Amino acid sequence: MIPESTACPKFRKLCPNCGKYYPAEMAVCIQDRNMLITMDWNYDSNDLEAWLARSRFYGSKHCLRCSKHFKRTLDPYCPDDGGQLERCIPVEADGPTLEGKYQLKSYIGHGKLSRVYYAMEVGSLTPRVVKLLRPDLAEDEKTVKRYLEVARAAMTLQHPNIVKTYSADVAERSTPYVVTQYLPGLSLREELLKRNKIDTLSALNIFIELVRGLQYAHAHDVIHMNLTPSNIYVIQKGMTDSAMIVDFGAAERLFRDVQWQGEQSVAETTNVYGDPLGICPEFCVGKRPTFLSDIYQVGCCLYEALNGRPPFLRNNALATMMAHAKEEPDEFEPTVNETLKAITLACLNKRPEDRIQSATELRWLLEESKKELTEVGQQFA
């Protein structure tokens, strides 16, 4: 599979045999000596696939000397060899309109299942996020059915700390898509890259709001099952940090008929449950997830927010999963608040019955910790 970063309009020729892209002046593939064909980069505003192909390179540049690509850079020169950087696509044209309602504007990125685009709702000019199922997955009927079922189930969750899902359908050329609320903030993962770690009061504000949303989801019989810093968005509510949960992509109520008995392979487990950095001990042995699985994952996220690193970080996915199953979390940073440390460890118990037993209880503990911290701060003010 040729990386997308090598397939911008500068590389206008393609080897039909190996799929490698080449600059326009090349005639023969250097790998297998096949004649190259010229790619058509002409854009038709009604052609979804043509626009999607171009949109991956909006805001990107390539070096005229080494041909390396850089996403959304403002620099005029290549940091590697000093060559001049040229925009991959000179003009960023608006894309097609889905359902006659959501006009695609630009490429945002891609996830495990979807290519993600920034869009604008026609009429209201409200920003939206459009997720299009990856083409290789869109060919599988079961995957498409589950993708749309999960999204439509998420549409029933209406809470200020859960991202809203507005639509889930199939576009032209049988492309399944989901439309969600656009969030102007950064994910917790991006915040940690920027801040390294989150201070105690901000962490309390973020996680109280996070657990508030989780409390609502659990009350409606929905388990997230993939709570990671990438699926938690930090937004501003007045002058304080708040949080919103995104991507209920593995909602447990859609797995009623799954066989949970017996061990699963790493590939099978991570395919269902996502990131090994936040995987629950019970997931590693193929046990059915419960509300307490979400509590464990909140503990992983809280640990990482406070320490700037996950509770278990090993050399590979299997070793990390085994650490979740059998080892105690790595040592906390010395500056971590003792009460928050105790709450985090109570979430991270290996046995579900030993954890904090509900989102309601966890929210109460966090709120009490915040009250205690605020009172101490007032005494020394």
Q: Give pLDDT, residue 184.
A: 82
Are both 315 and 269 inside the same structural domain? yes
324: left (phi > 0), else alpha (psi -120 to 50), else beta?
alpha
Q: Which residue range is the domain that position 61 belongs to?
A: 1-92
- Per-residue pLDDT of 251-295, as tens digits, reads 544 444 444 444 444 444 444 445 667 788 887 777 778 899 999
Candidate ranges 52-56, 181-185, 308-312, 342-346; pick with highest mean pLDDT: 342-346
Does residue 346 carry a pLDDT above 90?
A: yes
Cα gap 58→184, rounded to integer Å: 19
Domain stops at, among 72, 92, 112? 92
17 and 69 both lie in a single domain: yes
3-state class (DSSP) for residue 187:
strand
Residue 374 shares a structural domain with residue 337: yes
Question: Of 35, 67, 92, which closes a domain?
Answer: 92
Q: Are residues 168 and 262 in the same domain?
A: no
* Whether the predicted pLDDT of 217 surpasses 80: yes
The rounded distance, in Å, linking the Cα atoms of 360 and 118 is 35
Residues 328 and 253 in one domain: yes
Specify whether 232 is located in the same domain as 362.
Answer: yes
- 58 with 198, same domain: the answer is no
